[in-house]
Chains A and B, each alone.
Chain A
Amino acid sequence: MGRKAQKNDSLPGSLDMLILRTLSLRDLHGYGIVQFIQQSSDNELLVEEGSLYPALQRLELNGWIDGVWGVTSNNRRARIYTITAAGRKQLAVETRQYAKLTLAIARVMGTE
C-alpha cells in the first residue's frame, strides 16, 4: 500500500520530502500541495493525486505535520496542513540525504 503510493514520477521516497518542503513554506490543504509542487517544478513533477493522501496520513501519524480544519482561499472548508518542529527536523535530514544522493548519482553519471 504505502510502497505503491510512492511509485512516482519523482525518486522513490521523495514525495514525503516534497510535501514537507512545500509545507515548510506555507500551510496548505491537500489539493494546494499538489498544485504547488506542480507549479514550482514547472510541471515537471506530477504528483499522483491518489498517493498524496496516504502520504499525508503517514506524515501526520509520524508527527511531522498537523492537520486542522480551515477555510481555503476560495472559501471552502478544507483540512489545512502545517509542518511541525519534528517535521522540520525530518525535512532537514531528508534534504541532506537527498543532496548526498543526487551528488552521488551526478558523479556516477559524470554530469558533475
Chain B
Amino acid sequence: MFRRLKYWIESARRSETLREELELHLAERAAELEADGMTADHARAEARRRFGNLGLKHEESREIWLTRFWSELGQDIRYGFRTMATNKAFSALAVLSLALGIGANTAIYSFMESILLRSLPVADPESLVVLNWHSQPPQGASKDWVHVVHSVSGLFWQGAKGAVVTGIFPYGAFETLREDNPVFSTLFGYVNGRNRTLSIRGQAMSVSAEYVSGEYFRGLAVSPAAGRLIGSEDDRPGAAAVAVISFATSQQRFGGPSNAIGQAILVDNVPFTVIGVAPPEFFGVDPAAAPGLYLPLHTNLLVDGPGTERIYRDGNHYWVEMMGRLRPGVSMAQAQAALAPRFHQWVASTAATDGERVKLPALLLHPGAAGLGSLRREYSKPLSVLLAMVGLILAITCANIANLLLARAAARRREMAVRLSLGAGRFRIVRQLLTESVMLASLGGAFGVLFAIWGVQSLTFLFSKGQENFTLHAELNWKVLAMTAALSVVCGLLFGLVPAIQSTRPDVIPELKISRGGGSRRRMQHVLVVAQIAMSFLILVAAGLFVQTLHKLHSVQLGYTRENILLFSLNARQAGHRDPEIATFYADLRKRFESIPGVNSATLSHASIISADRAGVTYRGPIKIGAVTVEGARVLVAGPRFLTTMQIPVLAGREIDDRDQPGSTPVAVISERLARTYFGNENPVGRRITFLDEKRDLEITGVSANLRHGSLKEESSMTVFVAASQISPGGMTYALRTTGDPLLYVRNVREIVREADSSIPLTKVVTQAAEIDRTISREVTFAKLCTGFAVLALLTACVGLYGTMSYSVARQVSEIGIRMALGAKRGAMIWMVLRRVLLLAAVGLAISVPVALGASRFVKSLLFGTQPNDPGILALAGTVLLGAAILAGYVPARRASRIDPLVALRHE
C-alpha cells in the first residue's frame, strides 16, 4: 500500500542501486563478448553500444517511480479541480469561508499582538517598571477623587472594585523615590507636554511634546540617531534650553537628523536649541502617543511661565509620571516591598487634615516592558472579545468544511466502491480524497492571506478613525499567518481523512448493494450542524448587544446641538499674546467669525464640550456655595453666546455675554442640576459661588438646562460656566453655528486667523458631530465588526445547514418517492424536511442560550444602556437564526416535494 510512497522517499538510494545494476549488466555483457574473442576495451564499447544511451536509460528507469508519484499527484489535482468545478458553489463557499476565517483571525491577532504584547523598542524592556498608585475614593467624594489630591493634570482610570488608578505623582514623590533608590538603577519621570507650536525659520506647526527628566533617555537606554540626548545637566532650572526632536520631525522639517543638530527652534515662542534626534523606531513610553519633541522637564518653567514653579513644590498637585529600571537580580515584588512604605510615608506627610488622611494613595508597580497601557486599557477587552468571535467563526468554518467533505464522501461512496472493486488501491483513493481536501484548505489559506492583509489595513483605518496622530501601526503578523495557514491545511487533512477512510472501508460489497445508510456519518453531520448553530447564536447575541449599545449611544440626549457646528482651536498665548491684550484678541476674533455670512452665531470656550475634561487646564479645585462644598461640578470656561450657539436653553437669568469684561463683576452660569442640588427651589440668580483655589467669588447670572460633558456614557453633570474674558486661559476652542455644512466655512476661518496673526496655527478643526462620534469610535468600530462577523457566521452556518439538508434529501429520494406514491402530500414532505432543520436548530439553541447568558457577562463593561442578558436581543438572535435555518432547509425541502415518485423509484 505504501510502497510507492516509500519508493519516492527512497528514490536517491534506489537511484544508486539502479546504477549499480546497470553497471553489472554492462560488465556481464562485456565479459561474454570478451569470452567470444573480443579485446577487453572493444567488448566494453560493444556492450555500451548494444545497451544504448546508459544515462538516458537510467533516467527513464528512475522516472518510472519518480514521475509516477508526481503524475498521480497531477492527476489527483486535476481531478480535484474537476470535482471542485462541478460543485462550484460549495467549493467557492468553503474556500471563501475558510479564507475569511483565516484572514479575520490573523488580522485580529496581529492587532492584539501589536497592542497588547509588543515591547518598547528599547534595550532590555523586561526590566522596566511603571509606577502607579491606587486608592478607593474616600466617602462622599466624587468617584475619581482622593482628598489628598488637590489638583491634577493627567489621566485617571478605573481599577479593580471602583478604585482610582493613575500614574501621575507630585514632583516631591518623584524626588523622594529617586533618592538613593535601592531597587532601581534609574528612575525617570516624564510629563505629557501636549501640543505645542513649533516654529522653525518662521514656519509654525503643531507638534506633540513630552517633558522628560534628565534620566529619561539613559533609563530607557536609547541611543541618539544624531547629536546627543537630554541628560541630567540639561534638566535644571536655568540650564540652557535644549530640545531633542523625533526622527520623523527631523526629516520633515530639516531634511534629515544631522541637519537638525544645533538649529534654533521656537517652542511656543520660547527659543530652544536642537541637540539631538531620537532614533527612528523610538516613540516614547506610550505606544499611543509619539511625541515629536522632547524637552527637559524643568524647561516647562520657560514654556509655561514662571508660575509653573509652584507645582514643583506643591505636594498635593499631581502631574509627573515615572518609570524605573530594576537593578539586575531585583524582582518587581522586591521593588514594590521596598518602595511602597517610602511612598506611604511621603504621601502621609502631604495630608494636612484628618479628612485628607483617610484612604491615602498606595504605590502600585506594573510591568513596563510594553510601555504605558492607555491603548491596552482601551482595547485589550474588545480585542479579546473580537478574537473569541473570529475563533468561533473559524470553528464554524472548519465544521462546515468537515460537513461538506463528509457529505461529498458519502455521495461518492458508490463511486469509490466501484473503483475499489475494479482494483484501485485503497491508499490511492484515500490519497486522492486527501489531495482534494488539502487543495480546498490551501486555496482557503491563500485567499486568507489576502484577507489578512486587507483586514489589517481596514482595522487600522477603523481604529484610527477620528484620532489625531494615531500611532498604532499593526503589521501583518507573519508568524500568526503561517500558523493559521498551517492550521487550515491540518484542518483539511483531518477533516478529509475521516470521510476518506470511511468511504474506502473494505466492506464495499454491501455498499454496492444498498445505497442508503451511513447512520454514524449522519449523526456526525448533525453534531456539526448543531455546533455551528450554537456558535452562530453566540456571535449573533454579541453583535446584537453591541449594535444595541451603539444605538443607545446615538440616541443619548446631549443637552446641546450636534449638527451644524464647526469647532477649531487656536492658542494665542503660545504665539506670544499676553494678558490683558489676549482677552481682547480672542473677543475680536469671535466677532469677526460671527460676521462671516452664513454663520448664525460664534462662541468660544477653553475646550470643546466633549474634550473639556481632557483639555489639560482643569478648574476642578474646590468650589463652595456659602459654606457648602460643591462636589462633582465641571467647569467650562466659555465666551459670549455659548448657550445660544450650542442651543442650550436658558432657564433663568441670562447667559454670559459681551457685558462680562475682565474688569467687571466675575459671573457664572450654572446648570439646572447644580441649581436644584444646592438651591432647591430657590432662584439662584444673584447668589454667589466661590472658587477656593483662585479665591474668586462669582455672581450667578443664569441657569442653563443640563448637558453631558465628555463621554456619552456619563450622566449629564453639574456644570459651572465661567466667563472666558475673566479667566483668560491659554488656548481657545471656537464654535460656529453655521447654515449648511460646517466644513464649508473653514477657508473663511483660516483667512481671518491668518489676518489676525499669521503665526497662530489652526488646530483640531472638526465638526461637532464628528467630535461626538469620535468619543464612541471604539463602539462604532466594534459594532461594525461584530455585525460583519455575525453576518459571516450566519452565512457560513446556513451554508452548512443547506449542504447537510440537501444532501440528506438527496439520500431520501426513494423514500420520499415511495411515500408520495402512497399518497403523501407535498406539504407533508416539506414539513418532514423542515422538522429536522428545526429540531437541529432547537438543539443548537438549547445548548447555546445558557452559554450566551454566561459569556455575555464578560462583555458587560463594553455595553451601554444594554443588559448583557437582554431578553429582546436573545429572542431576536434566536429568531434570526431560526429564520435562516428554515430558509436554508426550505430549498431542499421544496426540492423533496417536487420529486416525481416514478423517477424517484426508477432512480434506485
Residues on A facing B (Cβ under 8 Å): 1-2, 4-5, 29-31, 34, 48-54, 56-58, 61, 63, 72, 76-79
Residue in contact with B60 in the complex, picked from A1, A29, A61, A78, CB distance below 8 Å: A1
Cβ contacts under 8 Å, B53 to chain A: 50
A76 contacts B4, C-beta separation under 8 Å: no
A50 contacts B24, C-beta separation under 8 Å: no
Nearest Cβ in chain A — how far from B413, in angstroms?
A: 26
B24 contacts A31, C-beta separation under 8 Å: yes
B65 contacts A57, C-beta separation under 8 Å: yes
A–B Cβ pairs within 8 angstroms, 27 of them = A1-B63, A1-B67, A5-B60, A29-B21, A30-B24, A31-B24, A31-B28, A48-B52, A49-B25, A49-B52, A50-B52, A50-B60, A53-B57, A53-B60, A54-B57, A54-B61, A56-B61, A57-B18, A57-B62, A61-B64, A72-B28, A76-B28, A77-B20, A77-B24, A78-B24, A79-B17, A79-B21
Question: Is B78 an interface position by the 8 A CB rule?
Answer: no
Cβ contacts under 8 Å, A52 to chain B: 25
Nearest Cβ in chain A — how far from B311, in angstroms?
A: 87
Bound-state CA distance A103–B68 (Å) is 34
Q: Mark B40-52, 1 if CB is under 8 A from A, else 0.
A: 0000000000111
Question: Is B3 an interface position by the 8 A CB rule?
Answer: yes
Given contacts A29-B24, A50-B53, contact A57 B29 (CB under 8 A): no
B3 contacts A61, C-beta separation under 8 Å: yes
Cβ contacts under 8 Å, B50 to chain A: 49
Question: Is B7 an interface position by the 8 A CB rule?
Answer: yes
Residues on B facing A (Cβ under 8 Å): 3-4, 7, 17-18, 20-22, 24-25, 27-29, 50-54, 56-58, 60-65, 67-68
B24 contacts A57, C-beta separation under 8 Å: no
A61 contacts B65, C-beta separation under 8 Å: yes
Residue in contact with B51 in the complex, picked from A50, A77, A79, CB distance below 8 Å: A50
A53 contacts B24, C-beta separation under 8 Å: no
Cβ contacts under 8 Å, A54 to chain B: 57, 60-61, 63-64
Bound-state CA distance A31–B68 (Å) is 25
B22 contacts A53, C-beta separation under 8 Å: yes
Nearest Cβ in chain A — how far from B90, in angstroms?
A: 36
Nearest Cβ in chain B — how far from A94, in angstroms?
A: 15
In this complex, what residue of A is CB-closest to B32? A35
List 11 other contacts, CB 8 Å, given A50-B60, A77-B20. Answer: A1-B60, A4-B60, A5-B60, A29-B24, A49-B25, A53-B61, A54-B57, A54-B64, A61-B7, A72-B28, A78-B24
In this complex, what residue of B is CB-closest to A46? B50
Main secondary structure on B side of the interface with A: helix
Given contacts A54-B64, A58-B64, contact A49 B27 (CB under 8 A): no
Bound-state CA distance A34–B50 (Å) is 12
Nearest Cβ in chain B — how far from A33, in angstroms?
A: 10
In this complex, what residue of B is CB-closest to A4? B60
Bound-state CA distance A29–B28 (Å) is 11
B27 contacts A76, C-beta separation under 8 Å: yes
Cβ contacts under 8 Å, A57 to chain B: 18, 61-62, 64-65
Nearest Cβ in chain B — how far from A41, in angstroms?
A: 17
A2, A30, A49, A72 — most chain B CB neighbours (10 Å): A49
Nearest Cβ in chain A — how far from B646, in angstroms?
A: 87
Cβ contacts under 8 Å, A79 to chain B: 17, 21
Bound-state CA distance A50–B55 (Å) is 10
Cβ contacts under 8 Å, A63 to chain B: 3
Bound-state CA distance A53–B54 (Å) is 11
Nearest Cβ in chain B — how far from A51, in angstroms?
A: 8
Bound-state CA distance A82–B53 (Å) is 27
Bound-state CA distance A4–B68 (Å) is 16
Cβ contacts under 8 Å, B17 to chain A: 79
Nearest Cβ in chain A — how far from B45, in angstroms?
A: 14
Bound-state CA distance A31–B28 (Å) is 7
Residue in contact with A30 in the complex, picked from B25, B63, B64, B68, CB distance below 8 Å: B25
Given contacts A50-B51, A50-B52, A61-B3, contact A2 B64 (CB under 8 A): yes
Bound-state CA distance A56–B62 (Å) is 11
Bound-state CA distance A72–B25 (Å) is 12
Bound-state CA distance A90–B51 (Å) is 28
Bound-state CA distance A63–B427 (Å) is 14
Cβ contacts under 8 Å, B24 to chain A: 29-31, 76-78
In this complex, what residue of B is CB-closest to A49? B51
Residue in contact with A50 in the complex, picked from B3, B7, B57, B68, CB distance below 8 Å: B57
B25 contacts A31, C-beta separation under 8 Å: yes
Bound-state CA distance A53–B27 (Å) is 15
B3, B7, B60, B67 — most chain A CB neighbours (10 Å): B60
Cβ contacts under 8 Å, A4 to chain B: 60
In this complex, what residue of A is CB-closest to B25? A31
Nearest Cβ in chain A — how far from B379, in angstroms?
A: 59
In this complex, what residue of A is CB-closest to B57? A50
Cβ contacts under 8 Å, B67 to chain A: 1
Bound-state CA distance A76–B444 (Å) is 56
Bound-state CA distance A1–B20 (Å) is 21
The 3 closest A-B pairs by CB, nearest first: A50-B52, A57-B64, A50-B57
